[in-house]
Structure 1
Amino acid sequence: MVRLIFALLPLFLSEAALSQKKDTADRTGFNVTGIPVLNFNSDEGFGYGARVSFYSYARGGYNPYFYLIDTQISFTTGGKKEVFVFFDSPFLLGEGNRLTGEIRYQDNNLTPFYGLGHESTFIEALTKEEDASFINEDYYRFGRTRITAWLDYQRNLGSFRALAGLGMNHTDVSTLDGTTALQDDNLVSGKEGGFTNYLKFGLVYDTRDFEPAPNRGDWIDLLFEWSNKAIASDYNYRRLTLTQRHYFPLTDNLVLAQRLAFVQSWGDIPFYETAFIASTFRIEEGVGGAKSARGLLKNRYLGAVETFGNLELRWRLTDFRMAGQNLFLALSTFYDFGGAWNNLDDFSLDTLHGGQGGGVHVGWDENFIISIDAAKGEDVGLALYIGIGYLF
């Protein structure tokens, strides 16, 4: 694994040279960085594409930047195509006011679906042509084309930040040839796709000492989403998401990082929306997979009630220089878990599912980090995840 991560260094060196320093308040003007996108995870295969980031520092005095525009186009060997433009500015509307938004197009003709609730099953033999119980190689897959646009506004309120936002999602759902789990499930809502527009309100508490790789502090989000036909949504539902993260330094180079998330939905939420976890920055998919619970299949456990958590020990092994850059090498070990239920009455710790593993991380100038994590879980022999940054 160590050899693999160092083999990737040249691909990211241009980004490392231009990545944001821990203190950028003395920078002025405009900066553009462009890098190839290269990643891998066991759920989607190899990813490749290009990413261009535009940083404005204006007249100086802004940390980490006056605004950021992040653009990317990428493809994976697992059938996913994605284009997005992401915007973030902590100062455009004045100090203490943050504006964040994104426009994204995603087409994935092999999106996973295993059913809803804790009784959903994964029987690998159903996808193996050589097995007597074979049904379809893509039995646990469906097609999903999705366009999203959202905008969040945050304002400082003492030690907290208040958040208000709105979003528009349109999703096309298509079933694949042959019999699939989605076709066999007559109870799920949302097979016809449509709009899921929403209003979002929240409260944020953030005391992290350094966002990309915190050594101490807390980061807690409480978010409420309201989707209704009154705002041109095709569905009426409400969703509450609570995510708690804590970073505790055991020694100068050893950090215990912990995350716990809980999601509850009410109303007519379409099945595909249960895969997306609300956030104050990037919106990712779970429960299970590279962004939520490693060692579990992507989107393996979905439902009206979801939870997942991570306990990770991060050891900063050494600091060194290469090609004129300041780098560090870190190791980690972790345990992730997750579960989903159709209602809160079904919740039980006995129906949680876990994965465990370890990782190697190389960082440049503190905040640009390449991570390789490997995990083993109940449905996964050994899963590999290569990407940018720590999981949380």
Structure 2
Amino acid sequence: MYSIFIRSSVFLLFITSLSLWAQATDSQDAPRPRPANMPFEVDEKKRLSERDIKNKKEGGYFTGLPLVNSDPNVGIGYGARVIYLNNGERNNPLFEYTPYRYRIFAQYFNTTKNAPYHWLSMDAPYIMDTKWRVRADLVYERNPNSLYFGIGEKTLQPLSYLERNDPTGRMIRNAPFADYEANLHYRRPGDAGIGEAPYVTDSRYNRYDIENPNFSFSGEYSFFGGKVRTVTGMRLSKQIIRTYDGKTYDAKFGGYDQLGGFPLSFLDTDKEIATPHGETRVSRDERDGKINGFKGGYTNTIRAGIVYDTRDFEPDPNRGLFLEYTHERSAKAIGSSSEFNKNLVSGRIFMSPVTWFTRKPPELLEKLVVAARASLIQTNGDAPFYEYRNMWGTETNQSGLGGRTTIRGYKQDRFVGQTMGFANFEIRWKFASVDIWGQHFDFQLVPFYDVGRVWDETKMVNLQGYKHSRGIGFRIPWNQATIIYVDYAKSNEDSQAFVNFNHIF
């Protein structure tokens, strides 16, 4: 425990030193008169830019979004989200200091691979003109294609497979993910000693099915003009785990499928036959005593955190710093099936470098933002295997390393461990904007770079052996607070495209 606080403190001091550079332009801004009748002090760093205030809609309004989502791991998503945003009246003194006064949305969502994510959410900054902020989320999610490659530094090893899944075949190393999974689709002789059928497939060897209804709630209280917030909250959830061992799936003929000594695999390479599934990775690790939580259970946690935040506009910042430390405790005394705790320390920085040279840059460069984030997460205790991937931040929940919100060039949860670290770097350039039927749209081009890795113990954290990905993104801020998101990312192992909502940080 002591080491995580030492390392977290060093990390935060590094990010804080960068903030002096990021906020160097604050003193260059011409002073604007503060709104009259402020209910309490809010720091000027939290104030929206003149451009954002001008484009901000007044009062309440609905946006109804058809959800069209693409994620290689769960398929093409479809559904709808109905959002109600209320910005308050323009003459309200907090109008210039909040992304909105409150936001409520309801979402129905499913995918072509049957991974539903239904969500009811509420967020209210400075609720009822107090220093409190309230957030609440009710979610039902299920992912029958959850990935599991084990826990710890061994997951960092490049993928390898036996050609055509043949035990006597050639070993292929440093394999692309697509080739790796394609070769697991072939039949192989089963292992009777662990209860496998005579012939099995491994097409879902690294997958399991998790169902997770959950509710979370938090309250935040502001200090020092809104720059510091303390956070307390809770999570109530249930996890139902299903595996694919012994279930029947179509598989290609393997090298051991023969008729009169002639390999059937060469008769028709596209021919498939119904075949029982062999032992999956998660079942093997449970049999070897490497993991907890194989049968699922309840995860109820108490949460606490502290935030330092000088961003000017939360959904799409131009400048500022965001630092947070969170702690999450799961205990049987509050109904959990296991005892563990998690610590997260994270920092984000946003800089508008053109404003270093001029307060009113050319329109084509008025919003050019350099954005970076770094996070370190530690899990202690008897955590179930599916909890190592979960990362609770005061604004966002994330899952594992890989996927849309961490290292975008790798599959979701590709790397999971007792300690996880990652960083993201983006350049967000608004190159155009338009107003249509009373709606304001910006258009941003976003090149990015991601890096991260896992460790077996926190004391082993170092600057070596990281995984990398890079890519290009396209973002459409709609009335500023709703961000439509398209990213394409590539790594040494994979390439992926994502369509979703909101910046990843």
TM class by shorter chain equals 0.7 to 0.9
User: How far apart, CA to CA, are the structure 2 residues paired with 1:325 and 1:57?
Assistant: 15
Indicate which of 259, 277, 293 corresponds to 1:190.
Answer: 293
Query: Normalising to structure 1: TM-score of the pair?
Result: 0.87
**CA distances 1:111-150 after superposition (whole Å, capped 9, x unpaired):** 1111111212544535525658794111111010001111
RMSD: 2.4
Measured in 2, the distance between the counterparts of 1:50 and 1:204 equals 32
Q: Distance in 1 between matches of 2:236 and 2:126?
A: 25
Counterparts of 1:1-12 in structure 2, within 5 Å, are none
Pairing 1:84–2:122 present: no
Secondary structure in structure 2 of the residue aligned to 1:350: coil
CA distance in 2, matches of 1:67, 1:367: 12
How does 1:75-224 map onto structure 2 within 5 Å? 75-92=110-127, 94-120=129-155, 122-123=159-160, 124=177, 125=180, 127-128=182-183, 135-158=201-224, 159-176=227-244, 177=247, 178=277, 179-185=279-285, 186=288, 187-224=290-327
Q: Which amino acid aligns with 2:280?
A: T
Whole-Å separation in 1 of the counterparts to 2:490 and 2:150: 22
Could you say what secondary structure the match of 2:145 adopts? strand
**Does structure 2 conserve the Cα–Cα contact (< 8 Å) formed by 1:319 and 1:327?**
yes
Q: Can you list the C-alpha shifts for 1:24-70, whole angstroms capped at 9, x where unaligned?
A: 5x52xx54432211111222221101112234567883644443221
Aligned 8 A contact 2:185 2:201 in 1: no
Any idea what the Cα deviations from partners look like across 1:271-318, whole Å, max 9, x if unmatched?
111222111123222311101111011111111101111011122223
Query: What displacement does 1:183 show?
Result: 1.1
Instruction: Report what 1:239 is aligned to.
Output: 342
Question: Aligned ranges for residues 337-356 of structure 1 at < 5 Å?
Answer: 337-356=451-470
Distance 1:297 1:259 in 2: 20
The one-letter amino acid of 1:157's match is F
DSSP-derived class of the 2:374 partner: strand
Q: Do structure 1's residue 386 and structure 2's residue 421 form an aligned pair?
A: no
- CA drift of 1:332 comes to 1.6
Alpha-carbon contact 1:21-1:365 (below 8 Å) kept: no
User: Counterparts of 1:308 and 1:298 in 2: how far apart (Å)?
Assistant: 14
**Structure 1 residues 36 and 320 mapped into 2: Cα distance closer, same or farther (>3 Å)?**
closer
Contact conserved, 2:186 with 2:203, CA < 8 A, in 1?
A: no
Change (3 A) 1:341 1:79: farther
The structure whose residues are more often strand, as a share, is 1
Q: Matched residue pairs, number? A: 369
Task: Among all aligned residue pairs of Structure 1 and Structure 2, give the percentage whose two residues are the same amino acid.
Answer: 27
CA distance in structure 2 between the partners assigned to 1:275 and 1:149 by the alignment: 18
1:37 aligns with 2:67: yes
For 1:376 and 1:165, the matched residues in 2 are separated by 37
User: Cα deviation per residue 1:152-205 (whole Å; 9 max; x = unaligned)?
Assistant: 010012130011111111101111132211112130111121111111111011
Q: Which blocks of at least 5 consecutive residues in structure 1 are unaligned? A: 1-19
> In 1, distance between residues paired with 2:56 and 2:145?
42
CA distance in 2: counterparts of 1:363 and 1:195, whole angstroms: 38
* Structure whose CA Rg is larger: 2
Question: What displacement does 1:93 show?
Answer: 5.4
Q: TM-score scaled by structure 2?
A: 0.68
Distance 1:130 1:84 in 2: 34
CA–CA distance in 1 between the matches of 2:72 and 2:149?
17
Structure 2: where are the runs of 5+ without partners?
A: 1-52, 161-176, 189-199, 248-276, 355-365
User: Following the alignment from structure 2 to structure 1, what is the Cα–Cα distance between the partners of residues 87 and 433?
Assistant: 29
Q: Hey, what's the Cα distance between the residues in 2 that align with 1:203 and 1:242? A: 10
2:377 equivalent among 263, 284, 293: 263
Aligned-partner residue type, residue 150 of structure 2: G
User: What is the CA–CA distance in structure 2 between the aligned matches of 1:130 and 1:108, rounded to whole Å?
Assistant: 20
* Candidates 77, 91, 109, aligned match of 1:74: 109
Equivalent position to 1:225, from 312, 328, 334: 328
